[in-house]
Structure 1
Amino acid sequence: MMTESLITCPACGHKAVERMLMDACQYFYECKSCGRLLRPLPGDCCVFCSYGDRPCPPKQAH
Structure 2
Amino acid sequence: MNNSSQNQHSVITCPNCQGHEILEIPRGSSQHLYRCPSCSSILKPKSGDCCIFCSFGSLDCSSSEQNLAA
TM-score > 0.5 by shorter chain: yes
2:14 to 1, 9, 34: 9
Give structure 1 stretches of 5+ with no counterpart.
none
Aligned residues: 60
Q: Report whether the alignment pairs 1:19 with 2:50.
A: no
Does residue 38 of the first structure (1) align with residue 70 of the second (2)? Answer: no
TM-score normalized with structure 1 length: 0.88
- SS of the residue corresponding to residue 59 of structure 2 reads coil
Q: RMSD of aligned C-alpha atoms?
A: 1.4
Q: After superposition, what is the alpha-carbon deviation per residue over 1:5-36, rounded to whole angstroms, capped at 9, x for unaligned?
A: 00000000001111111111100000000000
What fraction of aligned residue pairs are identical, expressed as a percent? 37
Q: Structure 2: state its 5+ residue gaps.
A: none
How many angstroms apart in 2 are the aligned matches of 1:11 and 1:3? 25
SS state of the match for residue 32, structure 1? coil
Structure number with larger C-alpha Rg:
2
